[in-house]
Amino acid sequence: MKQLKRIVVLFVAGIMMAGMAYQPAQGHKVEPDEVYHRAWQLVRDNYYDAGFNGVNWKELEHKYDSKINNLEDAHKYIKVMLKSLNDPYTRFLDPRAFQDENDAIDAKIVGIGINLQQTKDKAKLLITRTIEDGPAEKAGIRAGDEIVAIDNSNAVGITPEQAAEKIRGQAGTSVSLTVKREKDNEPKKIAIVRSEIVIKAVSTKMLENNIGYIQLTTFISNDAAREFKQALRKYNKADGLVVDLRDNPGGLLSNALEIADMLLESGPIVSTISRHGKHTDLSSGTPVTHQPIVVLIDEESASASEILASALKDNKRAKLVGNKSYGKGLVQEINKLPGGAAVHITVSRYLTPNGSDINKIGVKPDFQVQVKEEQLDRALDCLKSEIASLKNPVRTSSLSFSR
């Protein structure tokens, strides 16, 4: 399975905030077995598959009681318990990872501002993106750089999570990355000062022929929908829009629903199916814009990206250009545990408006363009054709009839 990209804080695809966060009474001492049992209970009550993927869930309730003596033990056996489900999206977050996730949702992190990805052979740790105006970018780090050392410690073969742990630190402190570049003979050591970074979910530019370009890089920020609406208003006089969802690993379901509603004239957005039934979210029918739209997707467009892309495609609101998307058709809730850790629990699967289950399948573009550098040009050609048909409806109709 392809790996989702990770930033210094972990990006999570397809999550929605849970309203069931557990808070122990004030002054209550957190007992390790209580933490484990709470995680077990949350899965029991909320996991989307009542059969627990064939696992005897009741058997796990007290299976590790004799082995849990402290909080570290509790966390260890929660991981073991969750792993038995064979669901990579139902997983444990230690307090640090949970805090990182909350920081990402709040759109502010302390760090250096890079996305990391490990190659499939696990031989290289690559920087796939630098946050605009972030510490790493200002220090000269570039997308495509391979990290070979962090503070003089060998980084070859380590995971993005392990690298993130080494890179983390307080604002104002420094970390050095030794990076290799394709055309450079020798690795280069670069010192970077950590700072608070405001994560922007949206970037924009005006293209030729009065086409607005809106790139949405994540759905995880609470500000993503607001930023997207601002971009739509900025380009309200454009003849058409390109919405770029490439390399977008997903985020909050609420953002996908809100952004889809800004664009859809009518129709369903997505249906979620849990143990408690089926729920369909419908567009309000009051879109922010009626402009022609083309959406760019690729194999790293996941979860919330796929919800938005399929909603626009199935409702015939936009054409999709690029490569087939990642294929994550499951939704998770974030549940806080006593002591500050958390678990993600898969609570539902979803169907696109036309009833498709895209899990492990992905969303197929209307126009497949494998070479990334050619995708935007194809999207613009498609958009220009759509704009021309709207400006000359009689001529277009006549041409269609003559065929």
Catalytic residue among 5, 313, 328, 336: 328
In CATH, what number does 115-198 get?
A: 2.30.42.10
Residue 195 a catalytic site member: no
Catalytic residue among 5, 100, 314, 348: 314
**Cβ burial 373-402 (10 Å sphere, 16+ → b, else e):** eebbebbbebbbebbeeeeeeeeeeeeeee
Domain locations along the chain? 1-107+200-392, 115-198
Digitized pLDDT (tens) for each residue of the chain, 403 residues in all: 333 333 222 233 344 333 333 344 445 578 999 999 999 999 999 999 999 999 999 999 999 999 999 999 999 999 999 999 999 999 999 998 888 888 888 877 788 989 888 887 888 899 988 888 899 999 999 999 999 999 999 999 898 888 988 998 899 999 999 999 987 879 999 999 999 988 889 999 999 999 999 999 999 999 999 999 999 999 999 999 999 999 999 999 999 999 999 999 999 999 999 999 999 999 999 999 999 999 999 999 999 999 999 999 999 999 999 999 999 999 999 999 999 999 999 999 999 999 999 999 999 999 999 999 999 999 999 999 999 988 776 544 333 333 2
Residue 314 a catalytic site member: yes
Answer whether CATH 3.30.830.10 is correct for domain 1-107+200-392. Answer: no
Q: Is the dihedral of CA 373, 130, 197, 97 positive or negative?
A: positive
Catalytic residue among 303, 305, 325, 348: 303
Residue 200 a catalytic site member: no
Reported pTM = 0.81
Cα distance between residue 140 and residue 82, in whole Å:
41
